[in-house]
Amino acid sequence: MSVPTSADKPPRFAPKPPWLKVRAPGGESYGRLKETFRELDLHTVCEEARCPNVGECWSEGTATVMLLGDVCTRGCRFCAVTTGDPRGAVDVREPEHVARAIARLGLQYVVMTMVDRDDLLDGGASHVARTVTRLRELRPDILIETLLGDFGGHLSYVDTTVDAQPHVWAHNIEVVKRLQRRIRDVRCSYEQSLAVLRRVKERDPERITKSSIMVGIGEQDDEVEETLADLRTAGVDLVTIGQYLRPTPKHAPVDRYVTPEQFARYEQKAKELGFAFAASAPLVRSSYKAAEVFVKSVLRPGDPEAAKSLLSERLAEAQAAAARIDGEAGGVPRTVSELASRAAASLIPASSLVRRAPEV
């Protein structure tokens, strides 16, 4: 296996290839959702990460929200999220607030992601689980995906999030095995990522699992195929593959711009390995067209027209459900005191705040 030399790498200020250029987001649906997110003080990863697919996903009723703040305890070389020590700070009202806010939006699919919180005794698992559970109470129609960290290998914390029953449980392996130590934080590992994905299937064999790979960051094509095979062996159902783009000059450089043709070959390989669905293209991100992926792979596999029709029906139902919730109190707490009371009632017991050794 040959490793690219510096002569093979694209110049630092070279223009991006044409297949990486997208039209700026806009339209009535995009504008309405953007305004509503601000009114509800709900911040989306779609905007903060400047995702190129934000307009497309929002128009289809899909969005990704961040839980547990915006300071990550890990420092991966591909990620622009602020690294630091949150010192255990957690807004106990967030599960109720986020669930209530999302319930009022006309979304048919929401991705809940999180920063790594190694400063918390359970890594934030119970916080995520409460958010998922509350949203399911408010909007039984909505599809929920959780895109989570590895919880430091503590599999009981993985169990906590699985037991909340998100429709899809996702964790990104990010890069091929050889690049893990160079690109990801030292507390991450290829084996640990595979272990948590396997654990989800062990805990709940019916739970849909998902992962994502970045390319163009120093890997070889055969290594991508090897990673796909390892993910499939771990029971992963859905996979996305997309082009790495450098957030700032401080982050890992782009090694190459992978062509659309090569992405098509990755997708074909994923299908041969038995993934229920694979999205592989330059602008694909881990939550790319998540509602469509779920419907096509789980609800209407092998029938594109039926999937398209169901997506439209689900979006209309989601908008109607959100309008009903937005127009009435319906027992949803509206004041700070009500939120605090509900949060206090769901505080985790002290016995659960003891860090245990990773399970095997």
Cα 288 to Cα 53: distance, rounded to the nearest angstrom: 7
Which helix or strand (DSSP H or E) is residue 109 part of? strand 109-114
CA 75 to centroid of chain Cα atoms: 18
Cα 152 to Cα 149: distance, rounded to the nearest angstrom: 8
Residue 188 marked in a binding site: no
Residue 72 marked in a binding site: yes
Eight-state DSSP code of residue 167:
S
Residue 76 marked in a binding site: yes
Scan for tokens 């934030």, then name that residue.
124
Angle, alpha carbons 129-199-169 (nearest 5°):
45
Residue 57 marked in a binding site: yes
CB neighbour list of residue 62: distance below 8 Å, 6 or more residues apart: 107, 108, 109, 110, 111, 287, 289, 290, 291
Instruction: State both tokens at 356.
Output: 């245990």
If one counts every other C-beta atom within 10 angstroms of the C-beta of residue 101, the result is 18
Length of the chain (residues): 360
* Whether 223 contacts 266, CB under 8 Å: no
What is the CB-side half-sphere exposure of residue 215 using CA atoms within 13 A? 23
* Whether 156 contacts 131, CB under 8 Å: no
- What is the pairing mode between strands 62-67 and 143-147? unpaired
**Which backbone phi and psi does 111 adopt, to 5 degrees?**
-105, 120
Instruction: State both tokens at 253.
Output: 């450089």
Instruction: State both tokens at 61.
Output: 């009723």
Q: Which of 101, 150, 86, 98 is nearest to 127 (CA)?
A: 98
If one counts every other C-beta atom within 10 angstroms of the C-beta of residue 345, the result is 7
Q: Extract the runs of DSSP E, i.e. beta strands, from 179-293.
A: 208-215, 238-243, 277-280
Residue 287 marked in a binding site: yes
Query: Which residues make up each annotated binding site for [4Fe-4S] cluster?
Result: 46, 51, 57, 72, 76, 79, 287
Query: Which residues make up each annotated binding site?
Result: 46, 51, 57, 72, 76, 79, 287
